[in-house]
Chain A
Amino acid sequence: MTCSPFDLKDYFFEELPAQERALVEEHLKQCPGCREEIERLRLTGSALAALREEEPPRRIAFVSDQVFEPGWWQRLWQSGPRLGFAAAAMLSVAILVHAFARPAPIAPAPLDSTAVEARISAEVAQRLEPAIAAAVTAGEARQAQRAAQLVKETEQRLDFDRRADRVAFEETLSLLQKKFNVLYVASADLGVRR
Chain B
Amino acid sequence: MIFREVEDRDLIGRARQGNVEAYNLLVSRWEKRVFNYLLRLVGDREDAFDLSQETFLKAYQNLGKLEDEARFSTWLFRIAHNQAFSLLRRRRPEGEPPAQLPAGKASFGLYPAELSLAVRTALDRLSADQREAVLLKMYQGFKFEEMAEILSCPVSTVKSRLYTALDLLKDTLAPAYTRGVP
Question: Footprint of B on A, CB under 8 Å?
Answer: 9-10, 13, 15, 40-41, 43-64, 68-70, 74-75, 77-79
CA distance A70 to B23 in the complex (A): 13
Residues of chain B within 8 A of A78, CB atoms compared: 16, 63-64
- Interface segment among B86-94, B95-103, B134-142: the answer is B134-142
0/1 interface trace, chain B 24-67, chain A, CB 8 Å (1 if under) = 10011001110110011000011001001100110011011000
Closest CB in chain A relative to B60 CB, distance in Å: 7
Question: Which residue in B31, B116, B177 is a CB contact (below 8 Å) of A44?
Answer: B177
Residues of chain B within 8 A of A58, CB atoms compared: 49
Q: Is the CB of A55 within 8 A of B32?
A: yes
Q: Is the CB of A48 within 8 A of B35?
A: no
Instruction: Decide: A43 near B173, CB < 8 A? Known: A51-B116, A57-B49, A60-B52.
Output: yes
Q: Is the CB of A62 within 8 A of B60?
A: yes
CA distance A58 to B174 in the complex (A): 35
Count of chain A to chain B residue pairs whose CB atoms are closer than 8 Å in the complex: 121
Question: Footprint of A on B, CB under 8 Å?
Answer: 16-18, 20, 23-24, 27-28, 31-33, 35-36, 39-40, 45-46, 49, 52-53, 56-57, 60-61, 63-64, 108-109, 111, 113, 115-116, 118-120, 123, 134, 137-139, 143-144, 159, 162-163, 166, 169-170, 173-174, 176-178, 180
CA distance A78 to B177 in the complex (A): 50
Residues of chain A within 8 A of B180, CB atoms compared: 47, 50
Q: Is the CB of B169 within 8 A of A48?
A: yes
Q: Is the CB of A70 within 8 A of B64?
A: yes
Q: Is the CB of A54 within 8 A of B23?
A: no
Q: Is the CB of A48 within 8 A of B134?
A: yes
CA distance A57 to B50 in the complex (A): 10
Q: Is the CB of A48 within 8 A of B139?
A: yes
Closest CB in chain B relative to A72 CB, distance in Å: 9
Question: Which residue in B28, B144, B169 is a CB contact (below 8 Å) of A15?
Answer: B144
Closest CB in chain A relative to B159 CB, distance in Å: 8
CB-CB nearest in chain A for B16: A78
Question: Which residue in A44, A54, A69, A75 is a CB contact (below 8 Å) of B109?
Answer: A54
Residues of chain B within 8 A of A75, CB atoms compared: 16-18
Residues of chain A within 8 A of B109, CB atoms compared: 51-52, 54
Residues of chain B within 8 A of A40, CB atoms compared: 170, 174
CA distance A77 to B64 in the complex (A): 8
Residues of chain A within 8 A of B119, CB atoms compared: 47-48, 50-51
Given A48-B119, A57-B49, A60-B27; 15 other pairs, CB 8 A cutoff: A9-B159, A43-B178, A44-B173, A46-B177, A47-B119, A47-B173, A48-B134, A51-B120, A53-B36, A53-B139, A54-B35, A62-B24, A70-B18, A70-B64, A78-B64
